[in-house]
Amino acid sequence: MKVTIPYTPRKQQAFIHTELDKHRFSVLCCHRRFGKTVMLINHLIKECMMNKNHQPRFAYIAPTYSQAKKIAWDYLKFYTKGLPNTKYNETELRCDFFNGARITLLSSENPDSIRGIYLDGVVCDEASQISRELIDEVIRPALSDRKGWMVLCSTPKGMNNIFYDMYLKARSEKDWFLYTAKASETGLVDKEELDAALSVMGVATYNQEFECSFIGNVRGSIYGELITKLEDEKRIARVPYDPSYSVNTAWDLGYNDSTAILFYQNIGHAINIIDCYENSNQAFPHYAQVLKEKNYVYDKHIGPHDLEQTDFATGRTRREVAHQLGLRFRIAPKLPIEDGIHAVKMLLPRCYIDVDNCTKFINALRHYHRKYKEKDRLYSAKPNHDWSSHFNDALRTLATGLENEKFENIKTRQQQYDKGFNI
C-alpha cells in the first residue's frame, strides 16, 4: 500500500529524521520556530507505518495536557487524515492506525496514569519542563520490553532539569544522537526578525530561546562564555582517570559551610579534572577517608590560606591536623577575589572536565554569577554567595596555586642561574 503524507521536511529536519532512525536515544536542542513539533509528529507517524512489532505503541509527551491538545493533536490529525482506516479518540487523544499501531498524546502532569504501559518509541517535547521522575521511573522502564527508542527535544530552560542532564549525557555517549539548532545558524528565522526579538527580549532570554544557551537565564554569569566554549570544543566530556599519572587535589574548606574538593591530573599542558566531592559539617578525618577510598595515587594537595588558621579547641592549625592524617598541603596565595577569577579564566582553556563525575561542579561553574542590583542597574562587585560558591572557590585555589607554583619554579631557576653566574 502506498500512502502520501503532506509533509516535506526542511534540510535540517531531513538530516534529523535520518539520524533518529540510526539511534535509540536522541537529544534535540532546538531554537523557537524550528518546527520541532511537526517534525516529531511526522516521525511518530512514519514509525507507526514501518514498525513490524505486534500492536506497536508510541507516545508523544508534553509538559501539560493543554499543550498536547492545542499543539500536537491538530498536527497529528492533519498529517494522518489521508491514511486509510485511521481512527481518532478525542477524549484520550489517541490515533489508531489500520495496522494496529497507536500514537497517544500524554502529559507529564500525572505520571501515575502512564505507569504500566509499554512503548516502542516516545517523544518528549519541551523536555526541560518534564519531571525527572517521569522519565527515569515511568518512561524508561516502558521502553525496556520492546527495546523502544526515545527522543528528548526542547529549548533550554536552565540547568536544573532532566533535559540538561540528558544533553550532557548525549555529548559523551557515542551511541546517542545530539543535535543543536541555533537560530543564527539554521537560517529558518530571518535576521531582521531575530534582531527585533533581541531588542525586545534582552540578551539573556534571546540567547536561551534562539541560541540554545543553557546559561542564557543566568544573569551576570562569570564563566558562562568560557563554559560554552569548553562544551563546543568537547572539553566537557568523558575524561577518564589515567593511572600512569598521579592525582592532585584543590580544596575549599568549610566547617558549617561546605568543603569542596577537585581531583585533577596534569597531563602535558592540559588540566584534566576527573572527579569532585562536596560535604559539610565534617572534620578532616572524613575527607581523608574519602580520598583513601577513591584509590587514586596522589601527589600534591593545594589548599586555601585559611589552612593556617588555629583551631582554639585543639591549639593546632588545620594544616597540622591534615598533616597528621597524611595530607601535606601546599598553600595557595591569598589574593583578591577578582585576581582569583582572572586566574581561573586563564586556566579554563587548558581544562578538560569529566561529565559523569563532575556534574555538580559543572553546574556550579555555569551558575556562578554576580547579583544584579535593580535599584542601581548594575552588577555587584563580588560574586553571589550560594551553593555554587564552594566548587568555584576550590577552582580558584587550583588556579592561584598553579600560578604560584609556576612563579616559584621561575624564581628558583633564576636563583640557580644567578648563583652559577656569580661563581
pLDDT, tens only, 94-109: 999 999 999 999 998 8
DSSP 8-state symbol, 7: -
What is the pTM assigned to this prediction?
0.68
Which grid cell sits at 320? Answer: 597540622
CA distance 301 to 380: 32
pLDDT at 243 > cutoff 90: yes
Which grid cell sits at 112? Answer: 501515575
pLDDT at 347 > cutoff 80: yes
Contact between 262 and 361 (Cβ < 8 Å): yes
Residues linked to residue 104 through DSSP beta bridges, in sequence order: 59, 94
Q: 326: which residues sit within 8 A by CB, 6+ positions away?
A: 288
The pLDDT value given to residue 410: 47
Which grid cell sits at 232? Answer: 563546543
Q: Which residues of 223-242 are buried (b: 16+ CB within 10 A; e: fewer)?
A: bbebbbebbeeebbbebebe
pLDDT digits (tens, 9 = 90+) for 262-309: 999 999 999 999 999 999 988 889 999 999 999 999 999 999 988 988
CB atoms within 10 A of CB 301: 20
Q: Which of 259, 216, 226 is nearest to 342 (CA)?
A: 226
DSSP secondary structure string, 189-226? S-HHHHHHHHHHH-HHHHHHHHS--TTTTSTTBSSHHH
Which grid cell sits at 337? Answer: 577575589
The pLDDT value given to residue 408: 56
Q: What's the distance, CA 305 to chain centroid?
A: 32
Q: At CA 332, angle to CA 382 and CA 388, rounded to 5? A: 40
Q: Locate the domains of the chain by residue range.
A: 11-217, 240-412
Q: At CA 356, angle to CA 351 and CA 362, rounded to 5? A: 50
pLDDT at 217 > cutoff 80: no
Q: Where does the pLDDT of residue 420 fall: very low under 50, low under 70, confident under 90, or very high at 90 and above?
A: low
Residue 14, classed as helix, strand or coil, is helix
CA distance 122 to 139: 8
SS3 content of the chain, % helix, strand, coil (to 5): 45, 25, 35
pLDDT at 239 > cutoff 80: yes
CA distance 337 to 115: 50
Contact between 107 and 44 (Cβ < 8 Å): no
How large is the average pLDDT for residues 311-318? 77
Q: 231: which residues sit within 8 A by CB, 6+ positions away?
A: 171
Q: 191: which residues sit within 8 A by CB, 6+ positions away?
A: none
Topology classification of domain 11-217: Rossmann fold (3.40.50)
Which grid cell sits at 328? Answer: 601535606
Cα separations in angstroms, 143 against 91, 118, 137, 179? 25, 6, 11, 22
CA distance 284 to 255: 10
Which grid cell sits at 371? Answer: 547579583
Residues linked to residue 177 through DSSP beta bridges, in sequence order: 26
Sheet arrangement for strand 102-107: 87-89, 94-96, 102-107, 57-62, 121-125, 149-154, 25-30, 176-181
Residue 85, classed as helix, strand or coil, is coil
pLDDT digits (tens, 9 = 90+) for 133-167: 899 999 999 999 999 999 999 999 877 789 988 99
Topology classification of domain 240-412: Nucleotidyltransferase; domain 5 (3.30.420)
Which grid cell sits at 343? Answer: 586566574
DSSP 8-state symbol, 332: P
pLDDT at 417 > cutoff 60: no
